[in-house]
Amino acid sequence: MKICLMGFGSVGQGVARVFQMKRDEIKQEYGLDLELVAALDRSGAAINPEGLDLKLLLETKKLTGKVSKYPEYGEEGVSGLEVLDKVEYDCLIEVTPTNIEDGEPALSHILKAMGDGKDVVTSNKGPLALKFSELARAARDNGVKFKYEASVGGAMPIINFAHETLSGCKIESIYGILNGTTNYILSRMAKEGSSYEQTLNEAQEMGIAETDPTQDVEGEDAACKVVILANSILKMDVTYADVEVKGISQITPESISLAKKEGYLIKLIGEVSPDSLEVSPRLVKEGSPFAVEGTLNVATLKTDLADEVTVVGKGAGSIETASAILSDVISIWKTK
Amino acid sequence: MVLELLDVPGQLMDALNPIGRLGANIVAVIHQRDVKTERGTVPVQITIEGDKDTLNEVLNLIEKTGIEIIEVDGILRKEKITTILVGNIVDQDLKDTVNLLNKIEGVMVADLDLKMSDHPEKSTSRIVIEAEQGRKKEVLTKIKDIGNLKGFLVINEI
């Protein structure tokens, strides 16, 4: 399978690393040969129809910060859409940074690939949160596979889990902690009694929170995931603007200690149900499935037949997220 | 059933009187004065025997005397809802906030904690509400509305 990788940041490099680690094993197990024919970052691309050397690609990125410096096959300044025209491939992996303003450039990349009859795997929340129904239709009309497990909860299985493992059940609602950064901050505040600002700084120093933490702490990232789950699992036709969003920046140490007195913790919860799409700080019982610490993600799916089912997993991380992408690629291969 | 009695002399008698009068049989009474509810009342567990009609009549009569029945046959008649508000609680008239909550039908504020912060606009209040069984969702929505009205961050239960 020839693969084109758009985006070579943390997740993109994770994909390259995971391919490197698992290539032989996957070939043996599934008869699938993962061949990366193009990789793109802000600088340009590295393109080799015979397959790129993953070790060399990762080293080049590490040394120069640019995949376009890849010896012999690097091309500076080439755009994503140009790459998709230039190279023969079977599957696009779209992992450029999430943009919740207009979903670009990922949206154009994905639509172009689908239009050309290629399968698409993505972790990119922007296009999914803004144009879910359009993308689902484009995939259907072009007869291609479209998978996005990595867009929600990183390595925590939820989308394929709901569609496949729970395929006999109707999912009535989903409640979950869908953002690892805010869960880390709230867990630390509960443990240390520290202020929000102090804890955010600490999280930034540790690389858990980004320099501009807005998307995480104001609930925007979790809201994107709520939209994806609502469309994909509850079959609702909604977009980002339909979610009521409140973040954690107003949470005080006093509110956490008052909650504790009553046996509660404060968590940023995403709610997906037919009458409510919401991201907000909520009280959860200590000792309940939602009482997870650190950067973990958790989601409880309420079903008609199996009652409640809860999944927990690492919500972020380069290799962890890449694992979900790899699983999507393999499951596409299995249907061929 | 579990009744909620004021901690004053004569209350237990008031509760037990109608039971005997209507011909129901008292099997057990568990009365622990040191166990108190948030409002300082004492829960009393009473087990009675009798035919269905008599028992219903007993419940009616007890309620008429103004004694609160918390639980019948292991089923709570009321549920407790905890919520936390963050914001300028005092300036936004705390009494008015409580009144607004109490105005919701079948709802009563049972307990309230207030923690002031160095910044008055970031005070925190924990409010425990008792509501009739099955009305939680409606009450949570109403609390959210009140929070939006007064500019509070509302942290509701899940």
Count of other CB atoms within 10 angstroms of residue A146:
21
Q: Is B133 exposed, middle or buried (0-12, 13-18, 19+ CB in 10 A)?
A: exposed
Let me know if domain B2-76 sits in CATH 3.30.70.260.
yes
pLDDT at A2: 98
Residue B51 distance to chain A (closest CA, Å): 37
- First vs last C-alpha separation in chain B: 29
| Inter-CA distances, B158 with A253, A299, A302, B86, B147, Å | 20, 13, 13, 17, 16
pLDDT at A281: 98
Which chain A residue lies closest to B114 (C-alpha atoms)?
A258
CA atoms within 13 A on the CB side of A245: 21
Q: Chain A contacts of B123, Cβ < 8 Å?
A: 254
**CA pair distance A156, A320, nearest whole angstrom:** 9
The predicted-structure confidence for A7-29, as pLDDT tens digits, reads as follows: 999 999 999 999 999 999 999 99
On whether any CB of chain A is under 8 Å from the CB of B155, the answer is yes
Residues 83-102 of B with CB under 8 A from A: 83-84, 86-87
Q: Which residue in B83, B124, B157 is closest to A254 by CB distance?
A: B124
**CA pair distance A83, A91, nearest whole angstrom:** 13
Residue B36: pLDDT band with limits 50, 70, 90: confident
pLDDT at B34: 84
Mean pLDDT of chain A: 96
For the cut 80, the answer to whether the pLDDT of residue B38 exceeds it is: no
User: What is the residue extent of each domain of chain B?
Assistant: 2-76, 78-155
Give the type of residue at A83: V
Instruction: Indicate yes or no: CB of A269 within 8 angstroms of CB of B158.
Output: yes
Residue with tokens 């959860």: A284
Residue B71: pLDDT band with limits 50, 70, 90: confident
Q: Chain B contacts of A254, Cβ < 8 Å?
A: 115, 117, 122-124
For the cut 90, the answer to whether the pLDDT of residue A72 exceeds it is: yes
Residue B20: pLDDT band with limits 50, 70, 90: confident
Note whether B5 and B67 are within 8 A (CB).
Answer: yes
Residue with tokens 């200590």: A286
Cis preceding-peptide flag for A97 (omega within 30 of 0):
no
Which chain A residue lies closest to B148 (C-alpha atoms)?
A246
Q: Which residues pair with B26 in a beta bridge?
A: B48
Q: Please tell me the pTM assigned to this model.
A: 0.87
CA atoms within 13 A on the CB side of A114: 24
Residue with tokens 């230039």: A86
Q: Which of A6-10, A77-81, A204-208 has the lowest mean pLDDT?
A: A204-208
Let me know if domain B78-155 sits in CATH 1.20.970.10.
no
Active site (annotated) includes residue A225: yes
Instruction: Indicate yes or no: CB of B115 within 8 angstroms of CB of A175.
Output: no
Give me the catalytic one of A61, A125, A225, A267: A225
Residue B132 distance to chain A (closest CA, Å): 20
**Beta-carbon pairs below 8 A across chains A and B:** 63
Residue A115 distance to chain B (closest CA, Å): 42
Residue A51: pLDDT band with limits 50, 70, 90: very high
Between B62 and A305, name the one with better pLDDT.
A305
Q: Provide the token pair at B114.
A: 């207030």
Helices (H) and strands (E) in chain A, counts: 12, 13
The predicted-structure confidence for A284-300, as pLDDT tens digits, reads as follows: 999 999 999 999 999 99
ipTM entry: 0.82
Note whether A93 and A121 are within 8 A (CB).
Answer: yes
What b/e sequence results for A276-309 when a residue is b if at least 16 CB atoms lie within 10 Å of its CB, and e otherwise?
ebbbbbbbbeeebbbbbeebbbbbbbbbeeeeeb
Instruction: Indicate yes or no: CB of A258 within 8 angstroms of CB of B113.
Output: yes
Angle between helices A180-192 and A253-261 (to 10 degrees): 70
pLDDT at A172: 97
Q: Could you please report the per-residue DSSP string of A138-183?
A: HHHHHT--EE-GGGTTTTS--HHIIIIITTTS-EEEEEEE--HHHH
Q: Which of A104-113, A301-310, B56-65, B140-149 has the lowest mean pLDDT?
A: B56-65
For the cut 80, the answer to whether the pLDDT of residue B89 exceeds it is: yes
Residue B105: pLDDT band with limits 50, 70, 90: confident
Report percent pLDDT > 70 for chain A: 100
Domain architecture of chain A: domains with CATH: 2-154+318-335 (3.40.50.720), 163-313 (3.30.360.10)
Instruction: Indicate yes or no: CB of B153 within 8 angstroms of CB of A250.
Output: yes
Which chain A residue lies closest to B153 (C-alpha atoms)?
A250
